[in-house]
Structure 1
Amino acid sequence: MTPGAIAILSLSMSTDAFAAAVGRGAAHRPSLAPALRDGLTFWIIEAMTPVIGWSLGLIAAEVVQQYDHWIAFVLLAGVGAHMAWHGLANRHAVQPAAPVRRGLIPLIAVALGTSIDAAAVGVGLAFIGVNIWVIALCIGLTTFTLTTLGMLIGARVGARFGKYAEILGGLALIAIGTLILAEHMGWMGG
């Protein structure tokens, strides 16, 4: 996987966490220290879940090796389509501000909820033989940066901005899945 593809993947995996962080920041105005703490929590969880998915994918990789590129495509495109659809379906919705529960347990629950897609992507990555440690680190660092910023700017831009990031992230995942499929099928020159 090229550095550019890793960067796009990292941004894509971070958009739903960013959207959640913008929503949390819009609900209350955190100072830098709580925003950094929340960003660190998202980083740890978002970096762990693709490794977990990758590990599970390795178990099945030998069995499905002939179709691995199709599985990677379906997983990436499916997660991407779901993210884009979710962002489109809710982008005009005006929702009343729900109270944001503070504390570590609600924060971990939100971080886990936004990282499920990273586990599915990790499964797909196991089939194409990538260095998961580099990718997990990049996803984690990107998530840390975006969630910390999302918390800090959430009160200014509101939760609606996060939906556009989610749509773009979903479209980027679809593009990465298509690129993987095209490379393995020989549809690209080279």
Structure 2
Amino acid sequence: MVEAGMHAGQLLTLLIIAMALGMDAFSLGVGIGLKGIRLMDIAKLSAIIALFHMVMPLMGIFTGKYVSTLLGGVATTAAGALLLLLGGHMIYSSLRGDAVESIDYRSSWGMLLFALGVSIDSFSVGISLGMFDTDMLLTVLLFGVAGGLMSVFGLLLGRKVGTSLGGYGEACGGVILFTFGLLFLF
């Protein structure tokens, strides 16, 4: 009875963490969706985010077994800096118009950069979970499903809202990414 209660408690904790990490993907997905994105790109980007939401905590769990918690702060700082750069670039390119080339989220590098920015906090969480006895398969599956689904919802919402915002969509998306970068850093 006690073991079943502990397993249910661990499942609930992992679900809450997965949803929290997925909300990050949702919020940042809204920012990218505001810029305008095709349905096929939403599917590709969400699949990459889901994969990163599985691989990053898995790497974090393995790392957490061997490294102190200091690395978690470094990963969060790196995520914040990456989001600041992405958001700042989006704001700058929307203000300059066609004079500057924006990061293309349809390209392989653009998708990988965005997925890394969204998923790097999963690495930090994985480090923490690696210090405890957690079900690794359940953890990475929950994180991947939550990250992928929440990014789909965010990208779709941003896409829908972005069509009514017109040219301001990219600037709004940049502000969202920039704000999340600041929140990661402070």
Which of 127, 138, 148 aligns to 1:134? It is 138
Paired AA for residue 8 in structure 1: I
SS in structure 2 of the partner of residue 59 of structure 1: coil
Cα shift readout 1:133-174 (whole Å, capped 9, x = no counterpart)? 2111101001111111211110334649x68xx7xxx9xxxx
Corresponding position of 1:25: 33
Corresponding position of 2:153: 149
SS in structure 2 of the partner of residue 130 of structure 1: coil
Counterpart-to-counterpart distance in 2, 1:104 and 1:42: 13
| Identity level (%) | 19
Alignment root-mean-square deviation, CA = 3.5
Corresponding position of 2:13: 5
Paired AA for residue 146 in structure 2: T
Counterpart-to-counterpart distance in 2, 1:8 and 1:44: 19
Q: How many residues align?
A: 148
Instruction: Check whether the contact 2:53–2:144 (CA below 8 A) recurs between aligned residues.
Output: yes
Cα shift readout 1:95-130 (whole Å, capped 9, x = no counterpart)? 564945121111101111221211111111011210
Which of 39, 51, 64 aligns to 1:57? It is 64
Paired AA for residue 26 in structure 1: L
Quick check: which one's helix share is greater? Answer: 2
Which of 29, 33, 44 aligns to 1:37? It is 44
Counterpart-to-counterpart distance in 2, 1:139 and 1:157: 27
- 1:36-185 maps to which residues of 2 (within 5 A)? 36-60=43-67, 95=91, 97=94, 99-101=102-104, 102-157=106-161, 159=173
Tell me the TM-score normalized by structure 1. Answer: 0.62
Paired AA for residue 55 in structure 2: M
Change beyond 3 A, Cα 1:45–1:53: same
